Amino acid sequence: MKSQLLGALLLILSIPSLHAQTLELSGKIQDKLSKEALVGVIVINQKDSKYTITDSEGNYSISVDQNDMIEFKYLGYLSTTMKASSIKSVISLSQDDYVLNQVVVSASRDAQKREEAPIAITSIGRTMLEETKAQSLDQVINKVPGVLMADLGSEQHMMAIRQPISTKSLFLYLEDGLPIRPTGIFNHNALNEMNMAVAQNIEVIRGPASALYGSEAIGGAINLITKTPSLVPTAQVQLRGDSYGYRRVDVTVEGTSKNGKFGASIGGYAAKRENGYLDHSDFDKTIVTAVLQYKVNESLVLKSNTTYMKYYSDMGSSLDSTSFYDRDFTSLHNFTKREIKLWRSTFTADKTWSENSKTVAKAFFRTNTLGQIPSYRIKNDWGNPSVAKGEVNESAFQSYGAVIQHNQKIPSLKTTIRVGASVDYSPTTFWANYIDVQRDENGRYVGYTSTDSVLTDYQTNLLNTGLYAQVEVNPIDRLFITAGVRSDHFKYDYTNNLGEEAFSGAPNSVNYFNAITPRVGATYTMLNGLGFYSNYSVGFMPPQVSELYRGVKVPTLEPSYYNNFEVGTWYTLPSGFGYVEGAYYNMSGKNEIVSVLQEDGSYENQNAGSTNHQGVEMALHFKPVSQLFVRVGGTYAEHTFEEFNTGKEDFSGNTMANAPNWIANMELTFKPRFLKGFRTSLEFQKVSVYYMDNQNTKKYDGYHVFNLRFGYQFKGLDTWFNIMNLTDELYATRVSKSSWGENYNLGAPRTFQLGIGYTISKNK
């Protein structure tokens, strides 16, 4: 009897201890690098498979026992499992840049799985951005298969995405889904107006995206997505420099209030180069971005994003063939320059009406002034070899606009409908004055004198309105069908401030352009991880302001259209080893604008060309063991003139200039387990031979470059050492040929980059 009573007593006493093992586990989950709250993370108790999902602030709560193993899973991030009793209040997850089915936003202006988007799109994640330690955006964007961003120095560039290396308005540059410049005044250097220091990730769309974003999204679109304020107070400082006079400091400070309602961040960098590898190539850039976010309630979030930039760069000349191959990097110019001042502000209201209904509205303001003494405008006076003519010019714009999009899910029909509208009103001005340029006995342009001779002086009020709609249907499991269409309307209201006798004496005029651009596509993913997609899309480009009004009359020009057919596939390798993907595209351009010789010897812009662009793009991300990462990407493409007659020469059937067949980028990354925090990578960039001119008379042999990177991260400390162009290859990022000769844009010689950074945050 006594033993029975003792057993009952022990059982009663044990009950509280058993209950003591059960706890309510709660906390926040954030991105390890950005400290951004992660919404939708699955928190699973492996014992009974019960789970919960993090809310809009990254919070979760789940009942567990102390010894349970808890797994945290999120698409695009490395999963992690921990014992319940050892889990801290804030969990940090690391991005996995070697998975395919990450979440993307640029394909629909809203978050969706990559496998649901019938489009060639690549997301460059925060991990890749941080580990590359890029001094300019080309050093990360060139990792995307089928993309070549040609570095022109001082963060200036040309682009090639399903097009030859070009300065034409064939590419759209976005910040958080909004174009950073209005249609009609494209600048091929526009990515130097971005703030790399605050990039959460960069998404690259290959192929036309006009059905969603409008004009100029033809070869592709690049969308830099800004970081949202971190969950915890965080500050980061990075110092870097290289062996050719480059110096830069990055600073970011951010955080969110304890109640999770208010978040703020400010970040940017100041960069300068003096006495670089190329003569007359100094530059100075300061850019800062401030983000404010306020959560009014569970369904309404307000956000503002403001960027200011001041930029100056020398504008040295390209090299002729003799100077290039003799490694004589002396510039013919010593006073040409480019200066930019800009301000961009965006206010966003994100309203969730219900689980299936959401509206996002953005209002924006932009002001941008670009002043130049351009080297490419200097022309010799053949009657007097000691003088030349040039110009000083300034283009400026202000923009006022808005974009609103509503997303409506209809679960019973397995359908999502997205409808939107946009308006952009941008008054623009442009003026240019002649200058008299002096030359020395060596043919260098050494000085100039201002004149009273006005070359150009006009203003153009640009108005672009657009309506678009997109429907996404999931009729059966793993099949997604997308169809969309956009209607755009443009008004160019041009006023010339000069008389008819001026070089730019085009009369006052109003021009209208309209376009309807459709898109349709489908994706299907099999159970074994093999997926397919196909799409048809149309891109269009209205004439640029400079193509219409920089002359003695206004030519009659129509928008250029591009029809793109595309098929693609991907396969997720078993056991998390990585993935492989590929795409084939065929794009035809109609009504391309070319400069046509007239009977009086002058040139006039006309719709006189048609082209064909086709190619295959491939990518392999392979992770055979946890310490080793292999990335292989490349494209084989052909760019030809179907019809191109200038009136003096017929290029029909020729290969387009600056159109390499092969572009490849490969990288091997090693992160040894025995030295936690250490990383090293070897990158290989290959650009094949291409014609320098449309006449197909001469070729450039192309180039290959190796880049070697080392880095070490210990808690908040991060150090790195990069050797760019490891073998000191002599190469040009672009070579062209004209009646004046050959022009080589010099690629950087072997460069040593060194940097150190420190991040401090509440949970470190």
**Per-residue pLDDT band at 608 (split at 50, 70, 90):** low
Does residue 43 have a pLDDT over 80?
Answer: yes
Position 661, amino acid: N
Does residue 60 have a pLDDT over 70?
Answer: yes
Put the strands of the sheet holding 22-31 in their side by side order: 59-65, 22-31, 90-93
Position 322, amino acid: T
Residue 100 has a pLDDT of 61
- What value does the mean pLDDT take over residues 72-86? 81
Question: In the numeric block, which tokens belong to residue 665?
Answer: 């980028």
**Which one-letter DSSP state was computed for residue 474?**
-
Residue 126 has a pLDDT of 86
What is the pLDDT of the chain when averaged over all its residues? 89
Question: In the numeric block, which tokens belong to residue 73?
Answer: 């899973």
> Which CB contacts under 8 angstroms, 24+ apart, belong to 46-53?
46/70, 46/71, 46/81
Residue 763 has a pLDDT of 59
Task: Determine the 3-state secondary structure of 6 from DSSP.
Answer: helix
Does residue 417 have a pLDDT over 60?
Answer: yes
- What value does the mean pLDDT take over residues 118-139? 92
Residue 21 has a pLDDT of 67
Q: What would the CATH number be for the domain defined by 222-761?
A: 2.40.170.20
Of 178, 173, 202, nearest to 189 by C-alpha is: 173
Task: Kindly give, in sequence order, each residue whose CB lies less than 8 Å from that of residue 285, ignoring residues fewer than 6 positions away.
Answer: 154, 155, 192, 269, 270, 271, 272, 309, 310, 311, 312
Of 548 and 143, the one with more pLDDT: 143
d(Cα 328, Cα 332) in Å, to the nearest integer? 11
Residue 658 has a pLDDT of 93
For 103-221, which CATH class? mainly beta
Residue 13 has a pLDDT of 46
The residue behind tokens 């789970």 is: 51
Does residue 310 have a pLDDT over 90?
Answer: yes
Does residue 745 have a pLDDT over 70?
Answer: yes
- What value does the mean pLDDT take over residues 451-459? 89
d(Cα 600, Cα 588) in Å, to the nearest integer? 32
pLDDT in tens, 144-174: 999 999 999 999 999 999 999 988 888 999 9
In terms of average pLDDT, the best of 2-6, 126-130, 514-518 is 514-518
Q: How does 253-274 read in b/e, with b if 16+ C-beta sit within 10 Å?
A: ebbbeeebeebbbbbbbbbbbe
Of 398 and 500, the one with more pLDDT: 398
pLDDT in tens, 227-243: 999 888 999 999 999 99
Annotate 240-251 with DSSP letters as a single string: EEETTSEEEEEE
Does residue 341 have a pLDDT over 90?
Answer: yes
- What value does the mean pLDDT take over residues 262-287? 95
Q: Is 478 left (phi over 0), alpha (psi -120 to 50) or beta?
A: left
pLDDT in tens, 171-211: 999 999 999 999 989 999 999 999 999 999 999 999 998 88
d(Cα 753, Cα 195) in Å, to the nearest integer? 20
- CB of 80 closer than 8 Å to CB of 88: no
Q: Which of 26-40, 363-377, 450-464, 647-661 has the weakest average pLDDT?
A: 26-40
Cα-Cα-Cα-Cα dihedral of 495, 498, 499, 504, to 10°?
Answer: -90
**Half-sphere exposure (CA, 13 Å, Cβ side) for 476?**
5
**Phi, psi torsion values for 25, nearest 5 degrees:** -85, 125
- CB of 514 closer than 8 Å to CB of 463: no
Does residue 2 have a pLDDT over 90?
Answer: no
d(Cα 160, Cα 702) in Å, to the nearest integer? 15
Q: What is the percent of the chain where pLDDT is above 90? A: 62
Of 309, 305, 418, nearest to 363 by C-alpha is: 305
Q: How many CB atoms lie within 10 A of CB 203?
A: 22
d(Cα 271, Cα 255) in Å, to the nearest integer? 25
Q: What is the number of helices (H) and of strands (E) in the chain?
A: 6, 43
In terms of average pLDDT, the best of 4-18, 52-66, 336-350 is 336-350
- CB of 620 closer than 8 Å to CB of 578: yes
Position 636, amino acid: Y
Task: Kindly give, in sequence order, each residue whose CB lies less than 8 Å from that of residue 474, ignoring residues fewer than 6 positions away.
Answer: 414, 415, 480, 481
Task: Kindly give, in sequence order, each residue whose CB lies less than 8 Å from that of residue 600, ignoring residues fewer than 6 positions away.
Answer: none
CB burial class (10 A; 0-12, 13-18, 19+) of residue 219? buried
Of 27, 31, 26, nearest to 234 by C-alpha is: 31
d(Cα 581, Cα 132) in Å, to the nearest integer? 23
pLDDT in tens, 582-606: 999 999 998 877 655 555 545 556 6
Residue 204 has a pLDDT of 94
Residue 90 has a pLDDT of 84
Q: State if pTM tops 0.85.
A: yes
- Rg of the Cα atoms in the chain: 28
- CB of 234 closer than 8 Å to CB of 613: no
**Per-residue pLDDT band at 16 (split at 50, 70, 90):** very low
**Per-residue pLDDT band at 37 (split at 50, 70, 90):** confident
Does residue 20 have a pLDDT over 50?
Answer: no
**Which one-letter DSSP state was computed for residue 318?**
P
Residue 618 has a pLDDT of 96
Q: Quick one: CA dihedral 73, 480, 127, 30, positive or negative?
A: negative
d(Cα 76, Cα 345) in Å, to the nearest integer? 30
The residue behind tokens 């996404």 is: 472
Of 13 and 45, the one with more pLDDT: 45
The bridge status of strand 51-53 relative to strand 59-65 is unpaired
Does residue 102 have a pLDDT over 90?
Answer: no
d(Cα 68, Cα 493) in Å, to the nearest integer? 69
Residue 17 has a pLDDT of 46
Taking the domains of the chain in order of start, what are their residue ranges?
20-93, 103-221, 222-761
Residue 644 has a pLDDT of 83
Residue 468 has a pLDDT of 96
Q: Quick one: CA dihedral 448, 451, 454, 460, positive or negative?
A: positive
Of 509, 565, 461, 546, nearest to 168 by C-alpha is: 546
Residue 18 has a pLDDT of 45
The residue behind tokens 């006495």 is: 275
Question: In the numeric block, which tokens belong to residue 165?
Answer: 């290396």
The C-alpha angle with vertex 333 and arms to 332 and 335, in degrees rounded to 5, equals 170
**Per-residue pLDDT band at 748 (split at 50, 70, 90):** very high
**Per-residue pLDDT band at 274 (split at 50, 70, 90):** very high
- CA separation, residue 410 to residues 298, 356, 413, 414, 416 (Å): 22, 7, 6, 6, 6
- What value does the mean pLDDT take over residues 405-424? 96
pLDDT in tens, 354-401: 989 999 999 999 999 999 999 888 888 777 778 889 999 999 999 999
In terms of average pLDDT, the best of 9-13, 53-57, 148-152 is 148-152
Which secondary-structure segment (H or E) carries 624? Answer: strand 603-625
For 20-93, which CATH class? mainly beta
Question: In the numeric block, which tokens belong to residue 226?
Answer: 């800004």
d(Cα 470, Cα 107) in Å, to the nearest integer? 11
**Per-residue pLDDT band at 8 (split at 50, 70, 90):** low
Q: How many CB atoms lie within 10 A of CB 508?
A: 12
d(Cα 621, Cα 98) in Å, to the nearest integer? 6
Residue 555 has a pLDDT of 63
Q: Quick one: CA dihedral 730, 734, 737, 741, positive or negative?
A: negative
d(Cα 295, Cα 281) in Å, to the nearest integer? 46
Question: In the numeric block, which tokens belong to residue 578?
Answer: 């990585």
Q: Report how far Cα 598 is from the mean position of its chain's Cα atoms.
A: 39
d(Cα 582, Cα 579) in Å, to the nearest integer? 10
Does residue 764 have a pLDDT over 50?
Answer: no
- What value does the mean pLDDT take over residues 437-451? 88
Q: Which of 43-57, 247-261, 565-579, 745-759 has the weakest average pLDDT?
A: 43-57
- CB of 341 closer than 8 Å to CB of 287: no
- CB of 743 closer than 8 Å to CB of 320: yes
**Per-residue pLDDT band at 63 (split at 50, 70, 90):** confident
Q: How many CB atoms lie within 10 A of CB 388?
A: 19
Residue 304 has a pLDDT of 97
